Amino acid sequence: MFGVGMPELIVILVIALIVLGPKRLPEVARTLGKAMAEFRRQSSEIMDEFQAQARLDEDAERRARTRPAPAPPPATVPSTPPTSAEPETPGAPREPTGRA
């Protein structure tokens, strides 16, 4: 753990005891322990979210590669345009053709 052995850890604890005092040291240690536990929990949740998103992206990519491209819709043949004798819309008045 960070290259800290037992002798170094004892020195750190003795210095903390001298600086903080015997009454405040347990309180600080408890607070530090809770903060470390919360940090680990949050970091594991973030890692889980990243891994889940990576799996979703991989699945979508795999599906896109295996699924054939959709066929284009069939072309429609336009109907013959209406002649001048037929009205373009039902009920529309007819234009005179010039014959009487």
DSSP string, 35-75: HHHHHHHHHHHHHHHHHHHHHHHHHHHHHHHHSPPPPPPPP
Residue 16 lies in a domain: yes
Q: Once rounded to an integer, what is the mean pLDDT over residues 72-99?
A: 63
Is 0.85 topped by the overall pTM? no
Residue 11 lies in a domain: yes
User: CA 95, CA 93: separation in Å to the nearest integer?
Assistant: 7
Residue 58 lies in a domain: yes
Quote the pLDDT of residue 76. Answer: 74
pLDDT in tens, 34-67: 999 999 999 999 999 999 999 999 998 888 888 7
**Domains identified in the chain, total number:** 1
Quote the pLDDT of residue 81. Answer: 62
Residue closest to 83 by CA, chosen among 72, 94, 69: 94
Q: Residue 58 sits in which domain range?
A: 6-66
Residue 73 lies in a domain: no
Quote the pLDDT of residue 13. Answer: 87
